[in-house]
Amino acid sequence: MEKVRRYTLEEVKRHEHPDDLWMVIYNKVFDITLFAQDHPGGKEVLFDCGGVDATEPFEDVGHSDDALFMLAPYFVGDVIEGDRKVQGRRSMNG
């Protein structure tokens, strides 16, 4: 069984640039650099949330479960226990 990598929010913050873009959703870390070009809502909205916990904006837009499924290939790890935020309205298995 492959071990899941764990990241601090400080590590995620280093990946806030269009050519190296990570974000956190439901305490899961995603490298969305390649996905940004294909994001249905435009890449700019992802650039605004790069390097941070984007759970609240993700929920505010009302993303469907399909959106969570679309993120799966971009999963790189979990947020470390001490940096985790309270889960949103739903959670995600990684």
Q: What is the pLDDT of residues 42-69, one digit of tens each?
A: 777 788 889 999 999 888 877 878 888 8
Mean pLDDT confidence for 71-90? 85
- Cα-only R_g, the chain: 12
The residues that bridge with 74 in the sheet, in sequence order, are none
Domains of the chain: 6-83 (3.10.120.10)
Reported confidence tier of residue 1, pLDDT bands at 50, 70, 90? low
Mean pLDDT confidence for 8-34? 95
Specify the DSSP element, H or E, that contains 61. helix 55-61
Could you tell me the pTM of the whole model? 0.84
pLDDT of residue 18: 93
Mean pLDDT confidence for 71-81? 95
Say if residue 91's pLDDT is above 70: no
Q: Which of 31, 24, 30, 26 is nearest to 9 (CA)?
A: 24
Q: Tell me how far apart the alpha carbons of residues 6 and 77 are, in angstroms, rounded to a whole number.
A: 5
